[in-house]
Structure 1
Amino acid sequence: MYPPPAEVPARGRRTGIFGGSFDPPHLGHVSVARDLIGALHLDRLLVIPAGDPPHREVMLPAEVRLDLTRRAFADAPGIEVSSMEVERLGPSYTVDTLEALARHFPADRRVLVMGADQFAQIHRWERWRRLAELARIAVMPRGGREPSPSPESMPIEYVVVHVTRVDISASRIRRRLEQGRSVHLLVPETIRHDVERAWAGRRARHAAQ
């Protein structure tokens, strides 16, 4: 499902694209997304959960991750959660997403946001050279270190965007959930019980096997 094209300025919107597995979505995602709106002067930020991440195994089904992500960002102004990758069959390649957005919203000025760790591996992405043709690339530093492209991806144009990084990771949350521990203050309270319940059901299914 594509966000509605209502009230599009003649010169197009400045649209950020923030993708990921969101397995599960957490407060770090929400904090970064809010900062990106101002730091990149965006008219809107599209948060796009991957349906079938090609380079990462996910624990929760796509539909569950999409629902949790929608609820996690429900009260965040300027942020829209899109189901386009969940609805699209096959691996969720970013280049396909950008090409689809370019077809549906040709006037938009697209900004693809990623972390420094993702940027370091961008040469492994599907048709990675095409990404910079479809969107400006904005990279968030990590661990106080400025991002840099790998030798394989030189030269590639990008900008550095500084946001407040919250020391929360989905892998840390998943470890706590696998141990049956609470994720209070790690994920939005509006989804915490459902996240914990989903993992409790997952543990129960694995125990019964």
Structure 2
Amino acid sequence: MIKKNTVLVYGGAFNPPSISHITLAKQLLNFTDAEKLIFLPVGDNYKKRELIPAYHRVNMLKITCEDNHRLEVSTIEVDAKKRLYTLETLNIIKKQNKNKDICFILGTDNLKDIVNWKGYERILTEYKLIVMERGEDTLDKIFYDIPVLENYKDNLIHIKGLLVNDISSSLIRNNIKQKKAIKHLTAQKIIEYINKNKLYEY
């Protein structure tokens, strides 16, 4: 299903990277024959509440990748002068990884909204998508609710057996603000980086 020459693309704010982000990335590499997984943090032009500067989020992701040569960080969206559409970003990654299959990771919450994305037909036709089922949102239910997506079901992949927890970045930020422990929520080296740079203490 996922070939060896596949590049997995995992986008998000990673504000900060949580144990969920890290565990999911490593599980996907273990469950597939993919060549590598690229973390794709959003840039500073992405308007989101409490989003810290991109260079901090990039640095924390690089820390995450230190012990695994199949993990990388892309700064495509960070370096862009404007906010890129997902299709634009995927096309750039495709050019950078010639002769590779590009597979985009997203949750069912985003899949339900994908028909509102610019060029969504091209995304669903030209790229494979690994869909992370959340809550009661299964692929079958989404096909029932949004019938047009069933036309692209061959490119929508659900990998069974993944252990997905819901430890969010916002939980980490809230714990820091409330001076609660976060050692069970992210990696120790990321905690050290957060403490050193006094992040999220507002």
When normalised by structure 2's length, the TM-score is 0.83
| Counterpart code for 1:85 | E
Deviations 1:139-158 (A, max 9, x none): 01123652325527533331
| Counterpart code for 1:161 | I
Q: In structure 1, how many angstroms separate the alpha carbons of the residues matched to 2:134 and 2:54?
A: 27
How high is the sequence identity, in percent, across the aligned residues?
23
Question: Kindly tell me: are residues 153 and 198 of structure 1, through their superposed partners in 2, closer, same or farther at Cα, counting changes over 3 Å?
Answer: farther
1:198 maps onto 2:199 in alignment? yes
Report if the CA contact (8 A) 2:44-2:53 is conserved: no
1:130 maps onto 2:130 in alignment? no
Question: Kindly tell me: are residues 25 and 140 of structure 1, through their superposed partners in 2, closer, same or farther at Cα, counting changes over 3 Å?
Answer: same
Aligned length: 191
Q: RMSD of the alignment, in Å?
A: 2.3
Question: Kindly tell me: are residues 72 and 105 of structure 1, through their superposed partners in 2, closer, same or farther at Cα, counting changes over 3 Å?
Answer: closer
1:112 maps onto 2:104 in alignment? yes
Q: What SS does structure 2 have at the residue aligned with 1:19?
A: strand
Report if the CA contact (8 A) 1:21-1:58 is conserved: no
Matched residue, 1:170: 169
The gaps in structure 1 that reach 5 residues or longer are 1-10, 204-209
Post-superposition offset of 1:84: 1.6
Q: What SS does structure 2 have at the residue aligned with 1:199?
A: coil
Match of 2:65 among 73, 98, 104: 73
Match of 1:156 among 152, 160, 175: 152
Q: In structure 1, how many angstroms separate the alpha carbons of the residues matched to 2:8 and 2:23?
A: 15
Question: Kindly tell me: are residues 192 and 91 of structure 1, through their superposed partners in 2, closer, same or farther at Cα, counting changes over 3 Å?
Answer: same
Q: In structure 1, how many angstroms separate the alpha carbons of the residues matched to 2:158 and 2:47?
A: 24
